[in-house]
Structure formats: C-alpha cells, structure tokens
Amino acid sequence: MKWGSVAAGALLAVVAAVLLWGTGLVAPPEGLTRKIAAVSALHPGSIGGADVERIPCPPLAHLRLYVVCTQECSETWMIVGVRGLVPENLANLGRVPPQPAGESRKKINAAVAAEGLRLDVDGAREMIGCYMRLEGLLPQLVLTPATLFALESTGGDEDEMLRLGDSLDEPDALQRIDPERTLDGFRAALIYWDASSPGRPVIEMEFDLEEDGVLRSLVARPSQRDLPAPDAGSGAEEPISCSGSGSTRGTRRS
C-alpha cells in the first residue's frame, strides 16, 4: 500500500509537470525542448546526428527558437519554435526550391504576436538582434561610425580586416543598435558588415517593428560608400566569425 501511494504521488507529480510545461506556465527543461525541436524538424527520421542550437531572443518568454541541422546544414536546415511542449516548423532554410520568404516571415510574426509583448526600447533592441540571427546575421558585425571608419581605413588589407573583426566581437554588441520610437512601434537603421560573404560587403539595414515585436518590414541595401575590397594579393579570404552568435547562418546559404 505504501509503495502504491508513492507511485501514485510520483505519477501525479509527472502529470502536473507535463501540464505546467505544456501550458507554458513553467518553462520546460532545455534538453527536453531541444529534443522536441529536433523531432519536429526531422520527423519521421531519426534525430541522431542532429545539431540543435538555441537562437537567443530574450523578449520571448514562452517561445524558444532553435536552428536544427544535419550534415552541417547541407541536408536539413530548419528553424523551429517551441512554446511549452508544442513545436512549429517556422522556416525551412534548406528547402529546394527555396521556401518563399513571405511564408516563413508570416509564421515567425504569428509566433511572436502570440507572446503578447509590449516592448520598450531595450526590448525592441533585443528583438532586432533576434531577427538578425533569424536572417543569419550576427549583431556583433553591426558597425558604429568609428568602426566603419576603421574598416574604410584598412585599405582592403586582409590582416587588418581580421583584426577589426576580432575587435567587434563584444558581449554588448547589441548596444550598437539604436531603435527609435514611432507612433505605433519602433524603427532602427544600422550599418552591417557582411564579413562572411564574398567581397565582405557593407549593408545598410532598416527594421520597422510593431509595439508587440512583430516585424513590419526589413529593408537591406548595399552601402553606397566607397569601401575597400579585400586585398586579392593576400590569398583567399579567411572567414570572419564571432563566437556565441546563435545565428542561423551555417555552412550553406542560398
């Protein structure tokens, strides 16, 4: 009778935990939601060999975002959202032919809207960082006027560019993003160094967010500034990367 009571109590505790996790009232263990994301992305296949990385997005208290890859993203490359214990495949970055951008944007916006956010400027800054990571971009490579001048001053020297890339990898890189309040949300303009793409172009970007964090629009255009190209005489371009990015950018990008 005693062991029966213990077993019944343990079962009730498990059921209570599952209910709390499922409703999002209590955050499930990270390891559990990682496995759920992997299963969602790879079903009906095996999750063995899957690489699952959390995409940092602090304003989303109940929604966890993951990028799931197999074979270094050459086989499966998926963004999965997990709210409580319920997963949703938000973007298939490895689909052939490519998934229409509007389709994945609509799913991501709906998932963000379900959070019911009311952002302040700091929250808007963090959401822009989240959207950058979802686009495969690194907040660490946002340039200030000073670092843009430093890039222009490298004259295309490969070693100087690598040193500049290392100096940009700072924990507070998001502070380089300066959102401004609008009547119904936030807008931010920034300059981004796409240091992992051929030619390492500089891009001017504009984010327009609603007050609840939903991305209204994202405009990106090549900078019109006369910037130096990497020195062709120094050999092949060495990729410039930043640690702990949580970005969706993998080894393959179409």
**Vertex 141 angle, CA 234 and 166, to 5°:** 55
CA 18 to chain centre: 28
Please indicate, yes or no, if residue 82 is contained in any of the structural domains.
yes
What is the pLDDT, as a whole number, of residue 248? Answer: 56
CA 183 to chain centre: 27
The beta strands (E) that lie in the chain are given as 51-55, 63-70, 76-83, 86-92, 142-143, 180-182, 185-193, 202-210, 215-222
What is the pLDDT, as a whole number, of residue 229? Answer: 59
Please tell me whether residues 100 and 136 are part of one structural domain.
Answer: no
Which of 113, 135, 164 is the C-terminal boundary of a domain?
Answer: 113
Angstrom distance (rounded) from CA 244 to CA 25 = 28
Please tell me whether residues 141 and 210 are part of one structural domain.
Answer: yes
Please tell me whether residues 131 and 190 are part of one structural domain.
Answer: yes
Token pair 């560019």: residue = 161
Task: Please give the residue range of the domain that contains residue 199.
Answer: 121-234
Please indicate, yes or no, if residue 3 is contained in any of the structural domains.
no
β 51-55/63-70 pair status: antiparallel
Angstrom distance (rounded) from CA 252 to CA 254 = 7
Please indicate, yes or no, if residue 250 is contained in any of the structural domains.
no
Please tell me whether residues 100 and 128 are part of one structural domain.
Answer: no
Mean pLDDT value across residues 226-248: 54
Please indicate, yes or no, if residue 52 is contained in any of the structural domains.
yes
Q: Are 68 and 41 in contact (CB under 8 A)?
A: yes
Cβ neighbours, 10 Å, residue 224: 8
Please indicate, yes or no, if residue 1 is contained in any of the structural domains.
no
Q: What is the residue type of 53?
A: E
What is the pLDDT, as a whole number, of residue 117? Answer: 96
Higher pLDDT pick, 209 / 224: 209
Phi, psi of 28 (to 5 degrees): -70, 165
* CA distances from residue 74 to 35, 134, 227 in whole angstroms, order as listed: 20, 18, 32
Please tell me whether residues 89 and 151 are part of one structural domain.
Answer: no
- Buried-state track 64-89, b at ≥16 Cβ within 10 A, e below 16: bbbbbbbeebeebbbbbbbbbeebbb
For helices 145-153 and 158-168, what crossing angle results, to 10°? 160
Higher pLDDT pick, 232 / 209: 209
What is the pLDDT, as a whole number, of residue 234? Answer: 47
What is the pLDDT, as a whole number, of residue 156? Answer: 78
Pair of tokens at residue 64: 């966890």
Higher pLDDT pick, 126 / 99: 126
Question: What is the domain count for the chain?
Answer: 2
What is the pLDDT, as a whole number, of residue 169? Answer: 85
In tens, the pLDDT along 105-136 reads 999 999 999 999 999 999 999 999 999 999 98
- Buried-state track 26-38, b at ≥16 Cβ within 10 A, e below 16: eebeeeebbebbb
Q: Are 54 and 38 in contact (CB under 8 A)?
A: no
Please tell me whether residues 128 and 225 are part of one structural domain.
Answer: yes
Could you tell me what percent of the chain has a pLDDT over 90? 57
Please indicate, yes or no, if residue 247 is contained in any of the structural domains.
no
Token pair 């300066």: residue = 178
Is residue 254 over pLDDT 70? no
In tens, the pLDDT along 56-88 reads 999 999 999 999 999 998 899 999 999 999 999
In tens, the pLDDT along 128-175 reads 999 999 998 999 999 999 999 998 888 878 888 889 888 888 889 999
Could you tell me what percent of the chain has a pLDDT over 70? 78
Please tell me whether residues 125 and 103 are part of one structural domain.
Answer: no
Please indicate, yes or no, if residue 4 is contained in any of the structural domains.
no
Kindly write down the DSSP assignment for every residue of 70-109, as one continuous string.
Answer: ETTTTSEEEEEEEETTEEEEEEETT-SSPPPHHHHHHHHH
